[in-house]
Amino acid sequence: MARGIETKCLHLEEEEGSSDNYGAISYPIYQTATYAHKGVGRSTGYDYSRLQNPTRSHLEKVVATLENGIDALAFSTGMAAITLLMELFRPGDHLIVDADLYGGSIRLFNNVSEKNGITFSSIDCYKEDVESYINESTKAVYIETPTNPMMNVTDIEALSKIAKRNNILLIVDNTFLSPYFQNPLDLGADIVVHSGTKYLGGHNDTLAGFLVTNREDISEKFRFLIKTTGAGLAPFDSWLILRGIKTLGIRMEKSQQNAIVIAEWLKGRSEVTKVIYPGLQEHLGYEIMKRQAKGFGAMLTFQLESKEFALGILEKVRMIKFAESLGGVETLITYPTTQTHADVPKEIREKNGITESTLRLSVGIEDVKDLLDELEKVFDELDGELNGREKS
């Protein structure tokens, strides 16, 4: 019987009963660069830590299990993972990518991959006819669902059918929901990307990235590329991510619970012109999310009545931190215009709906009452200062 995901976050079935001589519960940190051989051609399976390291391998097995893949590779950052992913392609290849993506991915595609001869069609995969953009050079579709930061939701299974019919890869960046809430490989994707910095690590203290696949041929290519290019995750950082993953389930549940309460609260405020959270029934992707994911996550984006109000919030928050990143236990608020999406051209940003009054919230696991108290205080103060309105 397949185990539940909370159990899979803690126990690796295949390694049970084979713990070290001391019975350590926590997997050891193998802080070594290299490994002694018993003789010529008699490797322990570990030769040099750029290629493999036991702590990293353990983490990779855990992440592969969580995503129901046959292999996962751990990288020093999410961007290192996506950079290596792009090595699957060669000059002349064409990719279809979501228009609304993590800004760093857009920057990589526009400034590095394009220079290397790869071309892109950037479209709204959640609503456009993806198939009509496929030509004989097209090799893959690359999406996020929900997207960062506009929370657009794409039907992964429907898109995977188009990808298979046209013999191209479907790649899904699953950072926003984590494997706890969504498993794209089960829905027909070929490769899953994670910024492990976010929910997998979960504590805003470590950078990491992952590529997961259920295809033997792709796993082989990835293994060759990681040993050749060398951005594998360090042993101590691997251990920190392993430690973070142990509580993935309860963190996802609690932060989602808080996010729903905050989304409803924001909806009730007159200064907020729009709340974009896929767990709200009015969200365009709500039904698809219910079908393809086990939860809605804890990321939400909202628009304020003015730029001044948005900036005011960023100035006034104290417990909630004005910081880039997401997916950690602490609640963070982000300004996409100057942070995550600063390098995305303004026209594209605005076409995607990111304006100077857009804020993104990564809801953490604090007592939700304290989060609401702080938001209420900040909103009321700004109402007084900017609008001359008295506390309602």
Ligand X SMILES: *Cc1c(COP(=O)(O)O)cnc(C)c1O
Q: Which of 144, 155, 190, 383 binds ligand X (CB under 6 A)?
A: 144
Assess 238 for contact with ligand X (CB under 6 A). Answer: no
Considering the candidates 8, 56, 198, 349, report the single residue annotated as catalytic: 198
Considering the candidates 50, 139, 290, 316, report the single residue annotated as catalytic: 50
Q: What does DSSP say about strands 209-213 and 191-195: parallel, antiparallel, or unpaired?
A: antiparallel
Q: Which of 30, 64, 72, 78 binds ligand X (CB under 6 A)?
A: 78
For 174, what's the count of Cα atoms within 13 Å in the CB-facing half-sphere? 30
Q: Which of 129, 132, 130, 133 minimizes the C-alpha distance to 119?
A: 133
Q: Which two tokens stand for residue 271?
A: 């200064």
Q: Interface residues for ligand X in 188-217 (CB under 6 A)?
A: 195, 197-198, 207, 209
CA distance 36 to 363: 46
Quickly tell me which residue has 């931190």 as its tokens: 321
Assess 148 for contact with ligand X (CB under 6 A). Answer: yes
Active site residue 237: no
Q: Angle, nearest 10°, between helix axes 216-229 and 78-85?
A: 110
Q: Which of 27, 102, 126, 210 binds ligand X (CB under 6 A)?
A: 102
Assess 331 for contact with ligand X (CB under 6 A). Answer: no
CB of 334: closest distance to ligand X in angstroms? 10
The length of the chain is: 392
CA distance 208 to 245: 12
Q: Which of 173, 190, 271, 383 binds ligand X (CB under 6 A)?
A: 173
User: With contacts defined by CB under 6 A, how many residues of the chain interact with ligand X?
Assistant: 15
Residues paired with residue 276 on neighbouring β-strands, in sequence order:
301
CB of 300: closest distance to ligand X in angstroms? 14
Q: Which of 176, 24, 173 minimizes the C-alpha distance to 85?
A: 173
Using the minimum distance from each CB to ligand X, give the nearer residue, 105 or 357: 105
CB of 97: closest distance to ligand X in angstroms? 12
Active site residue 102: yes
CB of 323: closest distance to ligand X in angstroms? 12
Assess 184 for contact with ligand X (CB under 6 A). Answer: no
Assess 79 for contact with ligand X (CB under 6 A). Answer: yes
Residues paired with residue 138 on neighbouring β-strands, in sequence order:
94
CA distance 90 to 120: 13
Cβ-contact 189, 161 below 8 angstroms? no
CB of 362: closest distance to ligand X in angstroms? 9
CA distance 180 to 334: 24
Active site residue 173: yes
Considering the candidates 98, 173, 190, 237, report the single residue annotated as catalytic: 173
Extended strands (E) in 232-346: 272-276, 299-304, 321-322, 332-334
Active site residue 71: no
Window of 4-12, 49-57, 76-84, 266-274 that interacts with ligand X by CB under 6 A: 76-84
> What is the binding site for ligand X (CB under 6 A)?
77-79, 102, 104-105, 144, 148, 173, 175, 195, 197-198, 207, 209
Q: Which residues are the active-site residues?
A: 50, 102, 173, 198
